[in-house]
Amino acid sequence: MISRLWRILIGKPLATRRAKHERLSKLTALPIFASDALSSTAYATEEMFLVLWVAGTVGLAYSVPLAIALAALLFIVITSYRQTVYAYPEGGGAFLVARENLGEVWGLFAASTLQIGYVLTVAVSIAAGVAAIISAFPFFIDYRIQLCVLFIALVTLANLRGLRESGTLFAPPTYGFVLVMVLMIGVGLFRLATGSLEPADAPPMPGVDLQTVTLFLVLTAFVRGGAALTGTEAVANSVKAFRPPESRNAAITLAWMGIILGSLFIGITYAANKLGVAPGLNAEGHVVKTLTSELAFKVFGDTPFSFMYYVIQIATTLILVLAANTVYADFPRLSSILARNGYAPRQLANLGDRLVFTNGILLLGGIAALLVVLFRGDTHALIPLYAIGVFMSFTFSQLGMVRRFMRLKPPRWQIFALINAIGGVTTAAVFMINFVVNFRYGSWLVLLAAGGVVVVLYKIRSHYQNVREQLSVDNYQPEPIHNHKVLVLVPGVHRGVLEALDYARRIAQPEDIEALYINVDPQAPPIYRRVLKRIGKEEDPQLHLVTPATERMRDRWDTYVKDIPLKMVDSEYRSLIEPITEYVEQMVERDDIDRLTVVVPEFYPARWWQRLLHNQSAWMLRLVLKRYPKVAVTSVRYFLKR
């Protein structure tokens, strides 16, 4: 029944041979790999504003230089990633690069930070997407969390169904988003220039008294704005998805992405500044109208093109959901790589019915949903955790590259190494700053989590190694089974039991078979006890066992079975399980038995509800008897017709 539901939701299984890998042109690749990075422009500026705003317009003025600084940082990161792209035409994720050049531990560290980053990407992007909707349709404001969870569920489902990252899916929303953003910025600045919009100052931040600009404040704004750089590693991870010459095309795409991302980010920040817009906060100081939404409204709200406002909001939501969606390819892939290397549970390694890593997708969806609920769908609360993980993995891959150049020493390696060194050092620096200024916003938590994950990965690895050793067949001779005994559990004498006994006779000689009957109602009826009393044996336990129930059983046994000895045991506590396990334990301890098959006669009802009407002792028993090395449990079922 459940499996049918699953089929309906997920669709028919796909044959392995249908796994195809389309090669992408630059134009189709860009939207696929850039959506994540570009989408971050939807919240990066806002994050800077929320920090600087406490210092009023003076503070907000810093946002433009900061945006430019971040664009420069972006340039550095991308230049060094271009080198990775050339160095690893097969695809150079931080994990691969770090492991190959810095060694196992750092590789795993990179992997775990990547994984954490992925999960946060989903959480942040979805939260931001929902924020965009709420800004346009305040009605949904009370359903923020529900909406987030709903979106995550939908994306998860889509990916379980095996949604392919096709250009057709990504191109329209991504290019659309870029287009409308450019439009917004352009029109905004044009109206400023033509004076149809007055340059204005942002209103003071509600509920906070004006503070002066401190270095700490600026640095905080800087690292928060660093969220704009998230997702830039996407291209490097999947170079081989490009049409040949793979590396070259990837590098070009990367450059284009950088240019678009940088200019959008600076553009939005500049326009927002000039037009004096600020995010709309509610009484608790939570963002209810995003900065981009306010900006879009300022630009188009009073024009005949006011519909553009809604277009922009929807485009924003779309690209953000897409951004989350890209992770649904990366996270499970990395998990499966880890699993193949024995670092993660095997279940994460196998492709599901639909040629996707089902378990990985479910895991990602689950954790992301949990995060969104914990942080009440608040982008602003998630960002501090987000950026830090990303910059960590940046650092790992850059330093990895440096080591690589120093190792392989290709022509002019010094320059290359230097470039990556610069990249690595800067990102490392940003990471440090991030860690410090965001400490009380949970940056320590991310580091802790990353460490924890690494430990777990190692534990898992060592377990799998142990298992392999223990199971290896080199110089191992199984001592053949000499004495195989069979114990048939008999609740009474009925067809099911006779079949079970017959089965037992088939797998062993009668003299090796024994039947066990548990009498769960040992208390002798009053009359009978009076008899015992009269003969003064009331306390004799042996006699006490022989109740009418057991006598009847004995008679039936002698009539219908004969050849197999029947043991009867009295259950003091009226439960089946304990006495049976006790009995089995005794048998297992005997040296003249090196394999015991416990045969459990079950009958299999015709309808499902009928199962509720029978004790589930069979599987309870199997559960308990599992613990005994020598024991093999076999259930012989008798099928009921009605």
Restricting to residues 464-483, name those near its own copies by CB under 8 A: 464, 466-467, 470-473, 476, 478, 480-481
Radius of gyration of the chain measured on its C-alpha atoms: 34
Name the residue nearer to its own copies (CB basis): 158 or 508: 508
Stretch 522-541 residues interacting with its own copies (CB under 8 A): 522-523
Stretch 121-160 residues interacting with its own copies (CB under 8 A): none
Return the H-helix or E-strand segment holding 65. Answer: helix 63-87
Taking CB under 8 A as the criterion, the residue among 11, 13, 206, 451 binding its own copies is: 13
Min dist CB 342 to its own copies, Å, is 10
Name the residue nearer to its own copies (CB basis): 139 or 573: 573
639 is an interface residue for its own copies by CB under 8 A: yes
Q: Which amino acid is at 417?
A: A
Name the residue nearer to its own copies (CB basis): 376 or 530: 530
Min dist CB 445 to its own copies, Å, is 23
Q: What residues form DSSP beta bridges with 331?
A: none
Name the residue nearer to its own copies (CB basis): 175 or 503: 503
In contact, 129 and 155? CB cutoff 8 Å: no
CB count in 10 Å sphere of residue 259: 14
340 is an interface residue for its own copies by CB under 8 A: no
Determine the interface stretch with its own copies among 102-110, 298-306, 342-350, 409-417 (rule: CB under 8 A): 342-350
Name the residue nearer to its own copies (CB basis): 137 or 560: 560
In contact, 249 and 256? CB cutoff 8 Å: no
Determine the interface stretch with its own copies among 14-22, 37-45, 247-255, 324-332 (rule: CB under 8 A): 14-22
Name the residue nearer to its own copies (CB basis): 200 or 507: 507
Cβ-count burial 595-618 (b if 16+ within 10 Å, e if not): bbbbbbbbbeeeeeeeeeeeeebb
Structure tokens at 584: 């089995």
Q: Give how far Cα 125 sits from Cα of 217, 369, 564, Å.
A: 25, 12, 70
| Farthest-apart Cα atoms in the chain, separation | 119
455 is an interface residue for its own copies by CB under 8 A: no
Name the residue nearer to its own copies (CB basis): 213 or 620: 620
Q: Give how far Cα 429 sits from Cα of 388, 394, 421, 524, Å.
A: 11, 11, 12, 83
Name the residue nearer to its own copies (CB basis): 58 or 507: 507
Structure tokens at 140: 């949904």
DSSP character string of 415-426: HHHHHHHHHHHH
Min dist CB 7 to its own copies, Å, is 12
Name the residue nearer to its own copies (CB basis): 11 or 203: 11
Going by their DSSP bridges, the two strands 513-519 and 287-289 should be labelled as: unpaired
Letters for 616-635 (x = contact with its own copies by CB under 8 A, - = none) are ----------x--x--xxxx
Min dist CB 142 to its own copies, Å, is 21
User: Secondary structure of 311-324 in the HEC alphabet?
Assistant: HHHHHHHHHHHHHH
Name the residue nearer to its own copies (CB basis): 562 or 614: 614
213 is an interface residue for its own copies by CB under 8 A: no
- 3-state SS, residue 638: strand
CA angle 487, 489, 495 (to 5 degrees): 115
Name the residue nearer to its own copies (CB basis): 139 or 476: 476
Name the residue nearer to its own copies (CB basis): 321 or 599: 599
Taking CB under 8 A as the criterion, the residue among 114, 251, 454, 636 binding its own copies is: 636
Q: Rounded to an integer, what distance in angstroms lies between the CA atom of residue 320 and that of residue 129?
A: 5
Min dist CB 350 to its own copies, Å, is 6
Stretch 238-277 residues interacting with its own copies (CB under 8 A): none
Q: Which amino acid is at 531?
A: V
Min dist CB 292 to its own copies, Å, is 42
Min dist CB 252 to its own copies, Å, is 27
Letters for 412-451 (x = contact with its own copies by CB under 8 A, - = none) are ----------------------------------------
Name the residue nearer to its own copies (CB basis): 26 or 630: 630
Size of the residue set binding its own copies (CB under 8 A): 71
Which residues lie below 8 Å from residue 630, measured CB to CB, with a gap of 6+? 588, 593, 594, 595, 596
Name the residue nearer to its own copies (CB basis): 72 or 481: 481
Q: Give how far Cα 175 sits from Cα of 27, 180, 228, 229, Å.
A: 10, 9, 18, 19
Q: Rounded to an integer, what distance in angstroms lies between the CA atom of residue 177 and that of residue 252?
A: 21
Determine the interface stretch with its own copies among 13-21, 74-82, 287-295, 397-405 (rule: CB under 8 A): 13-21
DSSP character string of 120-147: HHHHHHHHHHHHHHHHH-GGGGGGHHHH
DSSP character string of 532-547: HHHTT-TT-HHHHH--
Q: Give how far Cα 595 sits from Cα of 141, 211, 480, 490, 513, Å.
A: 65, 80, 10, 20, 12
Min dist CB 450 to its own copies, Å, is 21
Stretch 343-402 residues interacting with its own copies (CB under 8 A): 345-347, 350-353
Min dist CB 275 to its own copies, Å, is 48
Min dist CB 467 to its own copies, Å, is 6
Structure tokens at 243: 């049409």
Q: Rounded to an integer, what distance in angstroms lies between the CA atom of residue 233 and that of residue 389?
A: 13
Q: Rounded to an integer, what distance in angstroms lies between the CA atom of residue 589 and that of residue 26?
A: 70
Q: Rounded to an integer, what distance in angstroms lies between the CA atom of residue 168 and that of residue 171?
A: 6
Residue 377 carries which DSSP code? Answer: T
Letters for 478-517 (x = contact with its own copies by CB under 8 A, - = none) are x-xx--x--------xxxx-xx--xx--xxx---------
Stretch 544-603 residues interacting with its own copies (CB under 8 A): 556, 560, 572-575, 595, 597, 603
Min dist CB 364 to its own copies, Å, is 17
For residue 58, the Cα-to-chain-centroid distance in whole angstroms is: 43
Token pair 């400490």 is found at 439
Min dist CB 497 to its own copies, Å, is 8
Is the link from the previous residue into 31 a cis peptide, with omega within 30 of 0? no
Determine the interface stretch with its own copies among 237-245, 423-431, 433-441, 612-620 (rule: CB under 8 A): 612-620
Min dist CB 112 to its own copies, Å, is 17
460 is an interface residue for its own copies by CB under 8 A: yes
Name the residue nearer to its own copies (CB basis): 211 or 523: 523
Phi/psi of residue 325, nearest 5 degrees: -60, -40
Name the residue nearer to its own copies (CB basis): 26 or 595: 595
